[in-house]
Structure 1
Amino acid sequence: MPSRRDLLRCAVVGVAVATALGAGALAWSSTLLGEYSVMGMGSGGTTGGAGHAGHGGQGAAAGGAAEASGLLDTVSVTDLAADPDRPADVRVELVARQGTVDVPGGRSIEGYTVNGTSPGPEIRARQGDLVEVVLVNESVADGATLHWHGIDVPNAADGVAGITQDAVPVGGRHVYRFVAADAGTYWYHSHQVSHVQVERGLLGAIVIEPAEPDGRIAAPTDGSPLDVTALLHIYGGQHTLNGRVADERVSAPPGSTVRVRVVNTDQGTAAVWAGAPFRVVAVDGHDVHEPGEIEGQRVLVPAGGRVDVAVRAPDRGAVRLHVGGARSIVIGDASAEASAPPVRQPSTTLDLLAYGTPEPLTFDAASPDRSFDYVISRRFGIIDGRPGNFWTINGRMFPDVPMFEVAESDVVAMHVRNDSGDVHPMHLHGHHVVVLARDGVAASGSPWVVDTLDVHPGETYDLAFVADNPGIWSDHCHTLPHAVDGLVAHVMYEGVTTLFTINGEAGNRPE
């Protein structure tokens, strides 16, 4: 029997819907998805430059998608791959399983593991290595994939079910190959039923070490780990650090500098702060130019985002770095933890728009070849018979959302505006974007280069990137339940096509 609260909620929704319909204030849309291809998704949001509208319509079966696009010379997403003849420098097998996840220090949950644990094993490679990962699906009933979040892989390796591959069924395997071109901190996760599989543990960290050592981080002299990963995840309401409901301790010689790679795999923003000065040396895998000391401020990390911070071990005792609010890392003399008590979270936030010092960009962002709007809002509608207040992009509800069509080598400008009441960590696959301005205020610090950006209610951002990685790329909110409800668009290169479909026999459900 429904509870009184459920009945009240239904009544409130019913009144709101009836009022909206009666007043004609909101336009309803009804969409039956069925099997569809992203090749047939909605129109572009061009505002100037050489941009133009992309594909229109409510979605079409993939079997005539290439013809419908009007493209004569096309390349399949599966052909956009790393050199097949080059041997791998790093080779890893990852086995995905569905079942009980042991959470040390807490209670077990039902979810997913990779090689028997969650998070799965951390993958380490060196810049320039060719990485080969074999995904084996031992028991994930809905199928699984691996997406390399933040790594600008070739499109065939992007791991998005229904766009770049079919979900790997139970008993199946799939090989991902990519060159680790950019040093930095990244993570991998499933992009099949991702709002469930990611939340319940099908994920892990990947670190690409620079070809040359970072001179800001001294090499250890006594075997102490001076480069550590801090992967944040919530398992069934339990805040964990590297999979454990516990804080961590890093023994470091006095005066040494420890690099802490914070990876936020959760659905909301995480905060990082300390009781002593520290620096943000990288954001989303890209170095900050001449980062200054931070004291009395917090650093906010979007869902899916990463920050690398450099913390100096004190001459005596230890310092506590808070990561994610509920967990922390004590750095320095492990026997002197009492010298590093918890510190209240600062109320002021570091503004990455003005942090560090300027450095020239590698492209002319002032003269884009394509310019697009990406306006986030929401409205009432019905998708597959499910009524709700769904997200819209440029006023359109999924799947009639923009397909931002570009050509290789284009400089692309994007104006993002959040007209909704929620924070949206927007994530573009296959590329990094530079933040040019927020709310009309131009960037004044180090180039702020991201693949995941929190856009708060009422905010606008001006972004730019170079279209240098051909493919069909998702551009979506990484609060994954938002993506399920339609907050996902795509960047499509001219001449690229896919034969994979969503909601068909392969069971592809990327969000």
Structure 2
Amino acid sequence: MTEREALGRRRRVVAAVVASLLVLGPLAWFWWTSLVPANASVMDMGYPDTGGAPGATPGHGHTPTDGPGVSLATLAGPSGGDPDVALTLTADTGPIEVGGRTLDGYTLNGTSPGPTIEAEVGDLVEVTLVNRSVPDGTTLHWHGVDVPNAEDGVAGVTQDAVPPGGSHVYRFVVEDAGTYWYHSHQVSHAQVRGGLFGALVVHPPGSDEGAQAVAAVHTYGAVPTINGSAESLRVPAEPGDQVRVRVVNTGSGVLRAWVPGAQYRLLALDGRDLHGPGTVTDEAVAIGGGGRADLEVTVPDDGGSVRVRLGSQSVLVGPGDDAPDGDDPRTTLDLLTYGTPTDVGFDPRAADRRFDYAIGRRPGFVAGRPGLQWTINGHTYPDVPMYVVSEGDVVQMTLRNSSGQGHPMHLHGHHLLVLSRDGEPSTGSPWWTDSLELAAGESYEVAFVADNPGIWMDHCHNLPHAQQGLVAHLAYEGVDTPYLLGGDADNAPE
């Protein structure tokens, strides 16, 4: 080989190495930055978004430096006083019998769903969670109940996961009547799917609401159920009775509810009554993952029953053995125009802070895994926004979805008021939600008052999506958390 040929070869080798570094270097950097440390605080992740408010100066993580911070561990429910409702829930790993099949899963007090908790507005609720045999640890999150932050049940954010043999006490006052549910927020994409959940109903104080029933819809493996049974739910009622059916969608996808051959009213969504709800015929209610809807049906005078269809399952209300059936009407009740307006207690357009929550998708790494990843405002987890507010702020947020898939969006600790969808304003009843289905291509304007200090998750309740990184947080200025993702408790909220 001549000297010129050797020089040419060396140049080609150098060029190949440089080209490889130009390609692999950025990939290695993106891989490295996608990793979440074994002991990470959510306060140190991502970047603060102050929503255009002046004077918000984050210090350590996203907690301002002016004055001592407040630990969210102090933002707890009442420590004293006898509870009005008290129970112990014992979590186990074990088999679940459903639809003639035995499946691996989780139980609370030996059943899935766990016991339905019932209380009245103003009651002090005390729940002792005992983890007898869930190896990854567990927690209880009170979905839709605007509890104090320390009671929210999110591993690594508001508490440590309860290890096998351990226990944790939740205490909070229920202030709003409605239909809610509770579920694990430790490895939630697996534990909720496996059955670690139950319903929570808060009744108005001293009122007689008449006949009613809870219908918690859940799929175990490939078996769709209501209240853990693959059979239709029977609700005894007399001719002429008006019956409230409290539907809880414990799954990740949209659940469609309708009443074949009869009228119904939609009384409440996500634990909030609708104002002036009219009768609905041949339209379905779309309930996003984690959402709830209260439907009122009237038992026919002829001694028959009325059927509430919940996807492929049914609730039969009345004395009869059967009821008219029919396919999904395919038309959906428009919640922007349903019901009548009324005062909401604040001016949602006089916002102190304005945020964007734009969901997209692009190739990248999350937790070191390559793939097509969810993004929030163009960023992948953990480099996602921390939405920073002050107590008392009126907050407006625009949610957009260009990811190609739907996402049920759930902000902990608060209810959102829907202002518009795709630019069309809400003109019916105030539409309050804590689990808003954001379909592909849709955008919503929502508003809320920042009246519950803490560090709150704001995530997709299609729990596998959250586990894949579709998670952000809402942080109040001056509040910090002592808990860590990972850590000695192996906290893994999603």
Distance 1:301 1:238 in 2: 19
Matched residue, 1:400: 383
Matched residue, 2:36: 33
2:87 counterpart (92, 109, 112): 92
C-alpha deviations, 1:99-141, integer Å up to 9, x for none? Answer: 11122x3312101000000000000001100000000000000
Matched residue, 2:259: 274
With over 3 angstroms needed to count, the CA separation of the structure-2 counterparts of 1:194 and 1:384, relative to structure 1, is same
Distance 2:338 2:57 in 1: 36
Distance 1:280 1:54 in 2: 44
Question: 1:326 Cα shift?
Answer: 1.3
Matched residue, 2:142: 148
Matched residue, 1:169: 163
Identity of aligned residues (%): 53
The answer on whether the counterparts of 1:358 and 1:447 sit within 8 Å (CA) in structure 2 is: yes
Of the two, which has the highest radius of gyration? Answer: 2
Question: 1:77 Cα shift?
Answer: 1.0
The answer on whether the counterparts of 1:50 and 1:370 sit within 8 Å (CA) in structure 2 is: no
The answer on whether the counterparts of 1:45 and 1:374 sit within 8 Å (CA) in structure 2 is: no
1:229 counterpart (204, 214, 217): 214
The 5 A counterparts of 1:107-506 are 107-213=101-207, 217=209, 219=210, 226-275=211-260, 276-335=262-321, 337=322, 340-506=323-489
Name the amino acid aligned to 1:38: V
Question: 1:28 Cα shift?
Answer: 5.4
Q: What is the SS of the residue equivalent to 1:481?
A: helix
Question: 1:43 Cα shift?
Answer: 2.1
The answer on whether the counterparts of 1:373 and 1:414 sit within 8 Å (CA) in structure 2 is: yes
The answer on whether the counterparts of 1:437 and 1:463 sit within 8 Å (CA) in structure 2 is: yes
Name the amino acid aligned to 1:303: G
The answer on whether the counterparts of 1:288 and 1:356 sit within 8 Å (CA) in structure 2 is: yes
Flag structure 1 segments of 5+ consecutive residues without an equivalent.
Answer: 1-17, 56-63, 220-225
Q: What is the SS of the residue equivalent to 2:279?
A: coil
Name the amino acid aligned to 2:404: G
With over 3 angstroms needed to count, the CA separation of the structure-2 counterparts of 1:53 and 1:477, relative to structure 1, is farther
Name the amino acid aligned to 2:308: H
Question: 1:490 Cα shift?
Answer: 0.5
Give TM-score scaled by structure 2 length.
Answer: 0.91
Range 467-476 or range 203-212, more displaced? 203-212
With over 3 angstroms needed to count, the CA separation of the structure-2 counterparts of 1:192 and 1:334, relative to structure 1, is same
Name the amino acid aligned to 1:230: A
The answer on whether the counterparts of 1:54 and 1:405 sit within 8 Å (CA) in structure 2 is: no
Distance 2:66 2:230 in 1: 53
The answer on whether the counterparts of 2:57 and 2:65 sit within 8 Å (CA) in structure 1 is: no
Range 44-53 or range 449-458, more displaced? 44-53
Give TM-score scaled by structure 1 length.
Answer: 0.88
Name the amino acid aligned to 1:423: G
Question: 1:53 Cα shift?
Answer: 8.1
With over 3 angstroms needed to count, the CA separation of the structure-2 counterparts of 1:349 and 1:389, relative to structure 1, is same
Q: What is the SS of the residue equivalent to 2:464?
A: helix
The 5 A counterparts of 1:44-59 are 44-45=48-49, 48=52
The answer on whether the counterparts of 2:297 and 2:306 sit within 8 Å (CA) in structure 1 is: no
Name the amino acid aligned to 2:335: L
Matched residue, 2:13: none
With over 3 angstroms needed to count, the CA separation of the structure-2 counterparts of 1:434 and 1:180, relative to structure 1, is same
The answer on whether the counterparts of 2:45 and 2:61 sit within 8 Å (CA) in structure 1 is: no
Q: What is the SS of the residue equivalent to 1:397?
A: coil
With over 3 angstroms needed to count, the CA separation of the structure-2 counterparts of 1:53 and 1:382, relative to structure 1, is farther
Name the amino acid aligned to 1:289: H
Distance 1:53 1:239 in 2: 49
Question: 1:65 Cα shift?
Answer: 5.3
Q: What is the SS of the residue equivalent to 2:101?
A: coil
How many residues were matched structurally?
467
Distance 2:61 2:280 in 1: 52
Distance 1:28 1:316 in 2: 67
With over 3 angstroms needed to count, the CA separation of the structure-2 counterparts of 1:415 and 1:65, relative to structure 1, is closer
Name the amino acid aligned to 1:327: Q
Question: 1:417 Cα shift?
Answer: 0.5
Distance 1:236 1:126 in 2: 34
Matched residue, 1:12: none
Name the amino acid aligned to 2:42: V
The answer on whether the counterparts of 1:124 and 1:209 sit within 8 Å (CA) in structure 2 is: yes
The answer on whether the counterparts of 1:28 and 1:379 sit within 8 Å (CA) in structure 2 is: no
Question: 1:69 Cα shift?
Answer: 4.7
Q: What is the SS of the residue equivalent to 1:482?
A: helix
With over 3 angstroms needed to count, the CA separation of the structure-2 counterparts of 1:81 and 1:147, relative to structure 1, is same
With over 3 angstroms needed to count, the CA separation of the structure-2 counterparts of 1:454 and 1:50, relative to structure 1, is farther
State yes or no: 1:83 paired with 2:78: yes
Distance 1:397 1:251 in 2: 50
The answer on whether the counterparts of 1:320 and 1:328 sit within 8 Å (CA) in structure 2 is: no
The answer on whether the counterparts of 1:51 and 1:369 sit within 8 Å (CA) in structure 2 is: no
Distance 1:200 1:290 in 2: 38
With over 3 angstroms needed to count, the CA separation of the structure-2 counterparts of 1:296 and 1:54, relative to structure 1, is farther
Matched residue, 1:7: none
Name the amino acid aligned to 2:188: S
Question: 1:334 Cα shift?
Answer: 2.6
